[in-house]
Chain A
Amino acid sequence: MPTAAARQAKRVPRGFERRELNVNGADVVLFVGGSGEPLVFLHGAGTASGFHFSASWAGKYTVYLPYHPGFGESPDSAAIATIDDYVLHYLELFDRLRLDSVRLVGLSIGGWIAATLATQNSHRLKKLALVGPAGLRVPDHPTLDIFRLKPEEVPAHLVHDLGVLAPYAPDPRGPDFLEFLVNDYHEMSSYGKLAWTRPYDPDLAKWLHRISVPTLLLYGDKDRVTPAQQAETWAGLIPNATVRIVKDAGHLVLDEKPEAPQAVLEFLS
């Protein structure tokens, strides 16, 4: 087994500190790095490829990288089973860490949580960046039902360039393989609570007009999970939205192209 330090180095940029918090009964692990006004990043359904894209953000902001309860190093919380539960959990986390005027960045289901939070609590935010967000029903360009994929089909649906995931691919004969499978089953089980029936909230479109902060919609043009064409629907519903499409990148656009986290940084500044 690799050391805790080695595991952390694989996941987050150098200089980030690992913290454990109890947020009204929910045990969470988060990484904190950099300095400045707060930037919170909400991850997607899988965390195996880490958070290295956030390095440049830490040069300007205090970056918070929490694991959602039920994902990565954060255990399940009996109280948390729906998107609204996650929204309230993050409001409690903001309270706990005394965060206001938050720059909130959400990828995939993290984007779903972030957008829902913004419909109810834009006043807690400074700006919002949604990266390949899940959560919206777009019948002509539907979100991929990831549960229909065989395990071996998943990587090619996440990235345009498979080489990006190579450092995180498990070795089936390695000592960590069983733990990789267990973590994957854990995260898929937590994601399944939210999206087994459908990977969106049929009511979200009714309330996106309430998002009152400047919002960025960022996609890879080859996104096979949340197709980039969904950007138009989001932007049509959110009053102050900017769309940015990055060429030759998939759903994990932040990992694939340095210009993607750079675009987020520029937008948030």
Chain B
Amino acid sequence: MTWQDDLQFYSMHFMPYVHLPPDQQQYDSLWVDFSNKHYDPQKGYELYQRYFREMVLADQLGYDGLVVNEHHNTMYSMMPVCTAAAAALIPVTTHAKICVFGVPVTFVMPNRLAEEYAMLDVMSGGRLEIAFPLGTGMEYWSNSVVNPSTARAKFRESVDIMIQAWTEDGPTSYDGEFYNYRYLNVWPRPFQRPYPRCYVVGTGSPETIAFAAERGWGYASVFVPIAQQVKTFDRLRETMPKYGHEMTPDKAMANTIVYVAETNEAAEREVIDHIKYYFTIAARTTPRFLNPPGYISLEQFRIRAGAANKMHGGFDWDEMTKNWRVAVGTPERVAEKIAGWCEEANSSRVICHHHIGDMPHWKVVKNMTIFAEEVIPRLRPQAKRAERPGSNTLRTAGAT
């Protein structure tokens, strides 16, 4: 099976709060301790209205999945409860998979999260996909009742509990290091059997790769340089067979920033400030918040402390277009770039950030529409496309 056989495109939204005070530059982090006095609920309401319209449009344009995720104490994302965002999307969409990528399971009771996800899966008639993040370091400062030093062990146990709750007829019991369940018996059960498709979310750390390999799950890399994403998938290809699983292209999720316009120059002109906003403002935080005590091993800390902090606050456009999955330009150029990445990583799942930073609505609509109508058809052979469910608009577009 190659990456071309089942190529799918997901549209992801962070739903950031973009009305920042003019002196935002004086804050070294817009996470954790950036005061919520800067949040205006009226403006937040208007942003939610707009952002949900954008995600509904993605469904109408035939994207295969709509991706939401979760962050806390930050303007970066207005989805501290991403299952609520998923629930809001279900009745207003018809085809796209609802991808919750996802709740850091260490912050909630695992039976409760098993219930929430099962609800979403039944409510959507089996459209749910799930990814399990450990949660960024920042989340552990914001949810400081959870100790980062035991987060990885608690994460593993919590996922085990959820899988048991979904795969064994209840009631069962569970006896663990962190949790004991007397009657594990979640109602409802998931719509999809044995349970919805699951991925691990991560930066490519040895711990998260091992976790995905053991279960044979896909890996949804967060936005890190291409080389790091490719290395992660290579490592999964090596390790998965040891656990009796096969690493297939649909388990390699490539995370991309895309922007399409009439010319390369126009595309770059229209998008560059928003990408810069994303990296220098929305993602800005401190090394202290990135690495709470006990969150990473000393070996990982040594590597990270020794490396420059490019992702959270830095910005170099040339470096970014070369080493990161940023595709900006005409449909031809963007399609060519994505095809190259999918080929290189043997990946058939592409997560697209169509909204980026403080991008206005019209650009999101333009970007998402041209991408659906001009980029995807270039990448997906006609015959294969027709077999796919849930892409009515694309088929219509192809016919006109």
Contact = CB atoms under 8 A, between A and B. Distances in A.
B148 A196 contact: yes
Interface stretch (B56-64, B67-75, B247-255, B288-296): B288-296
A193 interface: yes
A185 B293 CA distance: 6
A163 interface: no
B180 interface: no
B228 interface: no
A150 B29 CA distance: 12
Contacts of B145: 197
Interface in B144-202: 144-145, 147-150
A147 B291 CA distance: 12
A218 to B, nearest CB: 28
Contacts of B294: 189, 192-193, 196
B305 A151 contact: no
B144 A182 contact: no
Nearest to B141: A147
B301 interface: yes
A186 interface: yes
Contacts of A191: 293
Contacts, number: 46
Contact of A185 (B144, B147, B150, B301): B301
Nearest to A150: B288
B147 to A, nearest CB: 5
Interface of A is mostly: helix
B305 A197 contact: no
B293 A189 contact: yes
B302 interface: yes
B147 A196 contact: yes
Interface string B294-335: 100010011001100000000000000000000000000000
Interface range for B: 10 to 19
A188 interface: yes
A138 B293 CA distance: 25
Given A151-B288, A193-B149, A196-B144, A188 B302 contact: no
A186 B295 CA distance: 11
Given A185-B298, A193-B149, A178 B305 contact: yes
A192 B144 CA distance: 11
A178 B302 CA distance: 7
B134 to A, nearest CB: 16
Given A189-B149, A197-B144, A147 B293 contact: yes
A181 interface: yes
A179 to B, nearest CB: 9
Interface residues on A, range: 10 to 19
Given A188-B293, A192-B293, A182 B149 contact: no
A151 B147 CA distance: 20
Interface string B264-295: 00000000000000000000001010011110
B240 to A, nearest CB: 28
A178 B303 CA distance: 10
A74 to B, nearest CB: 13
Given A151-B288, A182-B298, A185-B298, A196 B305 contact: no
A81 B301 CA distance: 20
Interface string A163-204: 000000000000000100110011011011100110000000
A185 B149 contact: no
A196 B147 CA distance: 6
Contact of A192 (B292, B298, B302): B292
A185 B148 CA distance: 13
Contacts of B150: 193
A185 B147 CA distance: 15
Contact of A196 (B149, B288, B298, B306): B149
B149 A186 contact: no
Contact of B298 (A81, A147, A186): A186
A174 B388 CA distance: 60
Contacts of A181: 301, 305
A196 B137 CA distance: 14
Contact of B291 (A81, A185, A193, A197): A185
Contacts of B291: 185
B147 A197 contact: yes
Contacts of A185: 291, 293, 298, 301, 305
B297 to A, nearest CB: 9
A182 B147 contact: no
Contacts of B293: 147, 185, 188-189, 191-192, 196
B244 to A, nearest CB: 29
B148 A192 contact: yes
Given A151-B288, A185-B293, A197-B144, A178 B149 contact: no
6 contacts: A182-B298, A185-B305, A189-B294, A192-B148, A192-B293, A193-B294
Given A192-B293, A196-B144, 13 more contacts: A182-B301, A182-B302, A185-B291, A186-B298, A188-B293, A189-B293, A189-B294, A192-B147, A192-B149, A193-B150, A196-B147, A196-B149, A197-B144
Ranked nearest first, the 9 interchain pairs of A and B with the lowest CB-CB distance are A192-B293, A189-B294, A188-B293, A189-B293, A196-B147, A192-B294, A193-B149, A185-B301, A181-B305
